[in-house]
Structure 1
Amino acid sequence: MHTILPFMLAMVAAVVLLEMLAAKLKIAYPILLVVAGLLVSFIPGLPRIKVDPDLIFFIIMPPLLFEASWSISFKEMKKWWRIITSFAFVVVFFTAMAVAVAVNYYIPGFSIALGFLLGGIVAPPDAVSTAAITRFVSIPRATSAILEGESLLNDASSLIIFRFALVAVGTGQFLLPDAVTSFLWMVIGGAGIGLLLAWLFVQMHKRLRMDASSNMAFNLIEPYLMYWVAEQLHCSGVLAVVLGGLFLSNRRLEFLDSESRIQAINVWESFVFILNGIVFLIIGLDLPEIVEGMRASGTSVHTGIIYGIMVTAILVLARLISAYSAMIATYLFRPSVMPSRSRRQVMLIPLTLGWSGMRGVVSLAAALAIPVTLENGMPFPQRNLILFITFTVILLTLVIQGLTLPLLIKYTGVFENLAVNGTSPEETRQQMKHGLKQHIYQFLKTKYDNEPNGNAGIEKMLRLWEERAKAADDSGMTARNKAIFVELLESQRQYLTELNKDPNIDEGIIRAQLYQIDLEEERLKII
């Protein structure tokens, strides 16, 4: 313990330093993390970290999925649900099947079940990697919503494939009727348990009147509870966390106060960032043992790299085929939603979407979760080769696609000057602020018509929202004025919530303004 603890702290420090270096170099930090994980494996004398495969899903997956569902725009998901669900389910299955058929044919000793196991592991693109890479280029909210929504749901679909493949490898058989029944129970039961528990959590937050620290502590254990309960009932813990997280996210204004919402953003971002970094470094530390096991089974590193390149090529090709198929289907059946761009740019949009399929932590966690032995005590077939191929796929997609995707977007210009219904994000933001300002004045005039005159605190509020500047002092902020100010802030939240129902309004802009309101309420508490 005294040896491992300092090493784990050093890993966290390394993750932070690498993120700082990535920001300075203007590249996505997952690229540096995966390269660093590879380099770390060559350092002699480092302690070997043994990860229990049975616990890897429970430790890593719930918080990653919960944070992703907490930050995504549910409104945008509903708007683009057709393409999101097709990429998250149909494309994932198509990709897993393509990988299964190819490795069964080309890699000796790989059965179809093992092929589907590998396919389920490497099929889902990583939301964290995609978001980090696209941060350096401007893309429309529709594209980002499709990528985020796909990454959130395809984790669930790919991990269901992974679970069924594990059973098929362990038992040596696959019964279709039993599989269909189990699949329906996993999906319906997992979704129902996640929504039920999320509703119970909302009631507990409301009725127990927790402070910010208690809210945050309870919020941290919620994804683990949803995942654990669903898994105990043989449902999909992943779907439980995803849908439960979406339910809680869309009701955060109901059961969390402003301080809790501010803390939640900071805590979850830091927690997930550290988890992502540590997983990348752990696979690097485990790489020598993986290589040794792969060699012991008769596969050289050179051959493993060739297999990894082959699987990566299949993944990229399958995603490009799916992207262009989705464009053709949209053109045939829903031409009204096609972007008003030139034919060249329209043809290049699927290329950009297809090239954005970087793999990351979800694939690593799934690969690490493969048990070392079967139930009969025999070694799990091809485990080390699967881990090595997974690491190769992640390295290649992050480095090659991750470094070239921003250049591809800039070179093709497919997203330049792309406004929704003629309104750019900046114009939308200005319109929202103007409407909010008008709402504030109307609120004060209607409810406190006689109080502003001669009241320094109320006049200060008017100057604050009219000129967007704080007063020199807060001497006029009496208890009465604070109560009015808090009521005014709550009225703004209600206005923004109603405004968010407009499908043409970017929810990211609304959330940013709500965050500013929360900060303003917290500032008011210390006056």
Structure 2
Amino acid sequence: MQQIELILGLLVAVAVLAILARKIRVAYPILLVLGGLVLGLIPGLPELQLDPEVVFLVFVPPLVYAAAVTTPWRDFRANLRPILFLAIGLVLATMLAVAAVAHLAIGGLGWPVAFVLAAIVAPTDTVSITAITEHLRIPRRIVIILEGESLVNDAVALVAYRMAVAAVVAGSFSASRAGVWFLWAAAGGVVIGLAVGWLVVWLRGNLHHPPVEIIISLLTPFGAYLPAEAVGASGVLAVVATGLYVGRCGLDVLSARTRVHGFAFWQVLVFLLNGLVFVLIGLRLRAIVNELAGLSWTTLVGYAALVTAVVIVVRLVWVFPATYLPRVLSPGLRQRDPSPPWRQVVVVGWAGMRGIDSLVTAMALPFLTSAGSPFPERSLIVFLSFGVILATLVPEGLSLPVLIRRLKLRAGEVEEREEALARLAAAKAALARLDQLAAEDGAPRDLIDYLRALYQRRSKLFQARLDQGDAKGHEEYASSARRVRKEILEAERKAVRELRDREEISDDVLREIEEDLDLEELRLEE
């Protein structure tokens, strides 16, 4: 009972921190990591013990799936080369550098344990990057590369993490066996993930039952992860493959209600999982520090600062040659994809925030090896991981908007043009269909005329945006129309509530009508 009350209290803390983050206009992962740090300093809070395997299973698959399913496949494929340079090349370089420095600088940290630490802190965090960049007007390509990198490097780093942990637990390491396992983990994970993705899309396309479909979406990442792990493949790669397939092929088979409700459900779930991880590590932090009583605070902070410096410097050193050297060596690439301005490369280099992924993998470290002895330096690894997250997420996250303003980076017009193109095509399709319906017997003329005027107005607005002409008059009309429509919706809502208050209708009827009105209002806001 005490643990249930504790978890409920933690959810309250997460909600308060999120509200505060919105008030002061700071990305919520920044306040969550600071909140976790504060919780770790409060005396008397109980410690919540969680099984490491349970932590990994509960948090990693749904978070990776949520990132994969919302990845725009066309843009991801178009930027695959820079994404792989960062997600594979940079992750491996970071792991080698961190492992070498940690082994040499931290007494008693053997090579296998150093590689465990390196695999934990190497990947960037999707949620942190998205939360920080979503309100910044920066070129869309930077956002795609950063989000694609954080998705793929999760899979790469987690495979390396599994290998390093297995070496520590078993007490031995075979390079040839690890190489064979890596190939099987990658190939098997992708094949299983695509198969699960196809099955999920087929199943949801034949259900047409929103609550059940949302439950299936919740079970999907586990349905990909568990079978892959059972046959020795990479469960994380399976989840990534499933998410990319469902995100690309699955939306067409869903009803409007399922899409709306499902999107809201996953927003809440991802937020809760992120918040819980940060506050859970806060509860463990005091116990971890007590276990490291043999090391002074100065020593611990120094170790964390050293590892953080390696992570940041390696990224900044890597991004420039990875961006410009391929174009120097390949004239064809230079012609197809000219070199980006150095300012964009600086932003990519500085946006190396760590977050939930590193935290979950640190918490998921086993307590014992196969010989029954304690996992070497487990508490130190968890402390250093939290230190790297704190030292990258907070300074880089807070300074990134300032850096973007100083470099005078602006969002391109490509995304806005694509949206205008899509909305114009939709409006023209609606007008064409209206003409067909008008020719049919029994079509209400007044409704046809009303909708034709509405879609003609929309066509003119989006055509003006595409032509980069004077759309001011159309924009003002659209803004006034939205305001009037909102006032009408509020009047409808008030009238229905008054009927409920006079008990002329039931609460069920009120909720049904309010849902329709809310959907209309949400559409106006979009």
Question: TM-score, normalised to structure 1's length?
Answer: 0.84
Report which stretch shifted further, 165-174 or 107-116.
165-174
Match of 1:443 in 2: 433
Task: Name the CA distance, whole Å, in 2 between partners of 1:522 and 1:432.
Answer: 19
AA partner of residue 20 (structure 1): I
Task: Name the CA distance, whole Å, in 1 between partners of 2:185 and 2:417.
Answer: 44
User: What is the Cα deviation at residue 439 of structure 1?
Assistant: 2.5
AA partner of residue 464 (structure 1): L
The DSSP-based 3-state class of the residue aligned with 2:375 is coil
Match of 1:369 in 2: 364
* 8 Å CA contact 1:357, 1:397 repeated in 2: yes
**Are 2:343 and 1:348 equivalent residues in the alignment?**
yes
User: What is the Cα deviation at residue 458 of structure 1?
Assistant: 2.5
* 8 Å CA contact 2:327, 2:339 repeated in 1: no
Task: Name the CA distance, whole Å, in 1 between partners of 2:420 and 2:204.
Answer: 35
Match of 1:392 in 2: 387
Residues 24-39 of structure 1 mapped to structure 2, 5 A cutoff: 24-39=23-38
Task: Name the CA distance, whole Å, in 1 between partners of 2:232 and 2:444.
Answer: 66
Compared CA separation, residues 388 and 213, structure 1 to 2 (3 A): same
Match of 2:323 in 1: 327
Task: Name the CA distance, whole Å, in 2 between partners of 1:324 and 1:522.
Answer: 43
Match of 2:404 in 1: 409
Task: Name the CA distance, whole Å, in 2 between partners of 1:409 and 1:522.
Answer: 31
Task: Name the CA distance, whole Å, in 2 between partners of 1:118 and 1:336.
Answer: 41
Match of 1:501 in 2: none
Task: Name the CA distance, whole Å, in 1 between partners of 2:380 and 2:115.
Answer: 14
AA partner of residue 323 (structure 1): V
AA partner of residue 278 (structure 1): L
AA partner of residue 284 (structure 1): G
Q: 1:259 pairs with 251, 257, 260, which one?
A: 257
Q: 1:303 pairs with 285, 299, 308, which one?
A: 299
* 8 Å CA contact 2:119, 2:157 repeated in 1: yes
Residues 70-469 of structure 1 mapped to structure 2, 5 A cutoff: 70-207=69-206, 209-295=207-293, 298-332=294-328, 333=330, 334-336=333-335, 346-413=341-408, 415-416=409-410, 419=412, 423-446=413-436, 448-450=438-440, 455-467=445-457
Question: TM-score, normalised to structure 2's length?
Answer: 0.84
* 8 Å CA contact 1:452, 1:459 repeated in 2: no
AA partner of residue 197 (structure 2): A
Task: Name the CA distance, whole Å, in 2 between partners of 1:451 and 1:102.
Answer: 79
AA partner of residue 316 (structure 2): L
* 8 Å CA contact 2:185, 2:234 repeated in 1: yes
User: What is the Cα deviation at residue 256 of structure 1?
Assistant: 1.4
* 8 Å CA contact 1:451, 1:458 repeated in 2: no
Task: Name the CA distance, whole Å, in 2 between partners of 1:353 and 1:388.
Answer: 27
The DSSP-based 3-state class of the residue aligned with 1:250 is helix
Match of 2:509 in 1: none
Task: Name the CA distance, whole Å, in 2 between partners of 1:64 and 1:13.
Answer: 21
* 8 Å CA contact 2:18, 2:28 repeated in 1: yes
Compared CA separation, residues 380 and 340, structure 1 to 2 (3 A): closer
Deviations 1:204-228 (A, max 9, x none): 2233x24111111111111112111
* 8 Å CA contact 1:453, 1:459 repeated in 2: no
Task: Name the CA distance, whole Å, in 2 between partners of 1:374 and 1:401.
Answer: 36
User: What is the Cα deviation at residue 350 of structure 1?
Assistant: 1.8
AA partner of residue 176 (structure 1): A
Deviations 1:225-269 (A, max 9, x none): 211111111111101111101111112333311111111110001
User: What is the Cα deviation at residue 375 of structure 1?
Assistant: 1.2
Deviations 1:272-302 (A, max 9, x none): 101101100110110011111122xx32232
User: What is the Cα deviation at residue 135 of structure 1?
Assistant: 2.7
* 8 Å CA contact 2:169, 2:368 repeated in 1: no
Task: Name the CA distance, whole Å, in 2 between partners of 1:158 and 1:451.
Answer: 63
* 8 Å CA contact 1:437, 1:466 repeated in 2: yes
AA partner of residue 154 (structure 1): N
User: What is the Cα deviation at residue 338 of structure 1?
Assistant: 5.2
User: What is the Cα deviation at residue 141 of structure 1?
Assistant: 1.4
Task: Name the CA distance, whole Å, in 1 between partners of 2:444 and 2:359.
Answer: 64
* 8 Å CA contact 1:26, 1:136 repeated in 2: no
Match of 2:11 in 1: 12
User: What is the Cα deviation at residue 453 of structure 1?
Assistant: 7.3
Task: Name the CA distance, whole Å, in 2 between partners of 1:199 and 1:428.
Answer: 28
AA partner of residue 442 (structure 1): A
* 8 Å CA contact 1:56, 1:369 repeated in 2: yes
Task: Name the CA distance, whole Å, in 1 between partners of 2:444 and 2:133.
Answer: 51
User: What is the Cα deviation at residue 447 of structure 1?
Assistant: 6.0
User: What is the Cα deviation at residue 373 of structure 1?
Assistant: 1.0
Task: Name the CA distance, whole Å, in 1 between partners of 2:22 and 2:522.
Answer: 30
* 8 Å CA contact 1:129, 1:360 repeated in 2: yes
Match of 1:68 in 2: 67
The DSSP-based 3-state class of the residue aligned with 2:41 is coil
CA RMSD in angstroms comes to 2.4
Match of 2:44 in 1: 45
Deviations 1:458-477 (A, max 9, x none): 23322332346699999xxx
* 8 Å CA contact 1:330, 1:338 repeated in 2: no
The DSSP-based 3-state class of the residue aligned with 2:26 is coil
Compared CA separation, residues 96 and 181, structure 1 to 2 (3 A): same
Task: Name the CA distance, whole Å, in 2 between partners of 1:374 and 1:454.
Answer: 75
* 8 Å CA contact 2:323, 2:339 repeated in 1: no
- The percentage of aligned residue pairs carrying the same residue is 36
Deviations 1:319-377 (A, max 9, x none): 11121112222431322355687xxxx22322211110000010000001111111111
Task: Name the CA distance, whole Å, in 2 between partners of 1:253 and 1:10.
Answer: 36
AA partner of residue 289 (structure 1): A
AA partner of residue 448 (structure 2): I
* 8 Å CA contact 2:438, 2:448 repeated in 1: no
Compared CA separation, residues 372 and 443, structure 1 to 2 (3 A): same
* 8 Å CA contact 1:137, 1:410 repeated in 2: no
Task: Name the CA distance, whole Å, in 1 between partners of 2:424 and 2:125.
Answer: 37
The DSSP-based 3-state class of the residue aligned with 1:51 is coil
